[in-house]
Structure 1
Amino acid sequence: MSASEQLASFLARIRGGDLGAIPVVVGIVVIWTVFQLLNPLFLSSENLSNLTMQCAAIGTIALGVVLVLLLGEIDLSVGSVSGLAAAVLAVSFMQLQWPLVLAILAAMAIGCLVGLLYGYLFTRFGLPSFVITLAGLLGFLGLQLWVLGETGSIAFPFDAWIVQFAQQMFLPAWASYVAAVLAVAAFAFSLLRRARRRAAANLVSQGYLEIGVRSAVLLAFLLVAAWYLNLYRGVGVMFLLFLALVVAINFALTRTRWGRAVYAVGGSVEAARRAGIRVDRIYLSVFAMCSTLAAVGGILAAARLGSATQSSGTGDVNLNAIAAAVIGGTSLFGGRGSAFSALIGIVVIQSISSGLTLLNLDSSVQFMVTGVVLVLAVIVDSISRRTRAATGRA
């Protein structure tokens, strides 16, 4: 496909309502430009390094929310599940003296069991996910308080590996550049492999020139980003873990039969069932993955804070995770979105939080601004959905 044909295809998708990540990327540029003009420290390497670390925990929770939204469902309890996982980690590691790895696995297992319970109630009794997870929000918050006990707060020692991982571990400069090169090599290999498969099936595929240009642009971006972050402390290992989770979930959604089934169920449950997809299993697996990722996010948040408290997973954690998934481009109507929605969405939310903090504005302003951005994201989603329906692309 020539460059002119690719441009024409891109413009046709835009006219058809398939905006992709364009609105949110434009939003990030606008947000960063405004805050940089108001405070020159916003785009400093120190602030951006801290911003990436702040994205990891809630971004991981948002990644699970993306999966549920792809089915056209919702999970309102991800904050409570993350807080419960943090409490289980703290009690098992600090009070019961379990090995750290076993304590982490126990916390993740709790999250997985919660998701399986949701999936069972949803598929067996047909309860709305809104009701199930709202009950879970209340119930697991109470269970979190019970697990923590009368003290209500359990601190981790500063020299604990998990605390060091979340607060002090950064890649050496050379390792960040190597990681960037390896990531682009994997990206280019994936595109080449897909292009060859499509060409072998006599389908339209990307040309080698386009693949080379895209890979070169991505490599330049990653190298510049790594260089700039290395001016301060570098690329945080916890943020790198979040990126790895995003890539892994994206691979599962786009390159596996399970991922195609998730999009099919989100698009039309009845059509997916008639196509032979085990719909109940898809619901069970997605709810389980959502709660497991919420547990992982809770573990990261507790490690970042250095303790598990009664406020773990409460406050704006739940709302920010859901808002990040929607702002990042995942449709509330199901069947459209990607794992990268969590990454883009949480960058928007944390950018707003960081910028307003630098401006010494009250947190009330942050809530109002985030609310406005969320409404705008839903409006864009609704308009693009109507446009696709009008042009026969829904």
Structure 2
Amino acid sequence: MAYQEQVTAQRRETIPPHVPADRVVELDYFSPPGVTEDPHLAWKSLHDGPDIIYTPYYGGHWIMTRADDMFAVMQDYETFSNWEFTVPPRGPDSPVLMPNQLDPPRHGPIRSVVLRPMSPKAVAPIEPVIRKIMADRIASIVPKGGCEFVSEFGGNIPPELFFEHARIPKDKLPEMKRYADTVARSDSHEERVAARIGGANYMMAILEERRQVEDLDDDVFSVIIQAEREGRITKEESTSIALNVFFGGLETVSSALAFIVLFLARNPEHRRQLIEDGSLTQDATEEFLRRFGILNLARIATRPTTFKGVRIEQGEQVLLPLHLAGLDERKFPNPLEVDFQRKRAGHFNFGTGPHRCLGSNLARPEIRIFIEEWLRQIPDFSVDPDDKPVGASGVAMTMTRVPLVWPSR
């Protein structure tokens, strides 16, 4: 048997008898057909079939393809727990991520620990820092007349900004970025576990440094230690919360920037709109987040249930492609079109319900400021005609390669 066939056989499971044959789709969500050319179009093809499908890959799991169904599942935490929020399940050897893995009522008190340092009020003062870092990095690549955006800019800036916001040393940034990439897109359970453990070890070191500080500051890791000192959380919970904040802070923005810059490289008319009317940038940010969603999150059934006529057994996972919700024509007319004047109907790029991502308050200004600064310094650019972009799927959708060129100065 060829190697790829062996891998495929290991990923598949026998289809349970309660799964109707017309719901079964042979879909490996790490590599849907066409993903390298266009990740979102590769997933959009699922809208041609049933609203709820089942794939035998990675232990077997259900996939919701429509926005309203995803919303219903995310709201019903009593039936669909967040304890296993990735496919396949993390397993007992992987560090716990709090508050992400917790359900109400335990979720709320843990989440409250990091509400203040991740709030819009806390993020607003660092916007000038974000702008300066963005502007300086863009200026450094302008004379080159082109770049591979992901490796030379987009994959590095959001992690650097997170480290800046969290006030932690940047010497480990490349290593931690590799951990985040592995967790988001590796289809190897062993690699993902090792990356989570590596991240947890670093978080424990950072937290231990904070424990030695008598007068703590107001950054997110200091706030976690303060909650520990007050007895609101345990030492183990501190590490878990810090690890959750870290992984949540690195991946989404990097992927969003790659999709956005690729779109703008291919669509000069949209670039012109943003250059001529700067007031559009905030609405453009939301429209880009809708059109180019990122996350594939999961829930696990706590009890047998029937959802829209489909029997889901206890212990079965349900995958929620939040990026596909933004492409649902039942919710967004002409969903593949990017329209900066589109009436906002709410997207799920940062989740919804109790587990809405706290990092969204940092992600939004990062994306907005990037658009403003990039177009200010590089208003005219395109995809390198001698190279091609490459997309990828996984827990986080992304472009792994975006080659760009622009007129030399």
> What TM-score, normalized by structure 1, do the two folds share?
0.27
> Which structure shows the higher helix fraction?
1
Q: Which protein has greater RCO, CA pairs closer than 8 Å, 6+ apart?
A: 1
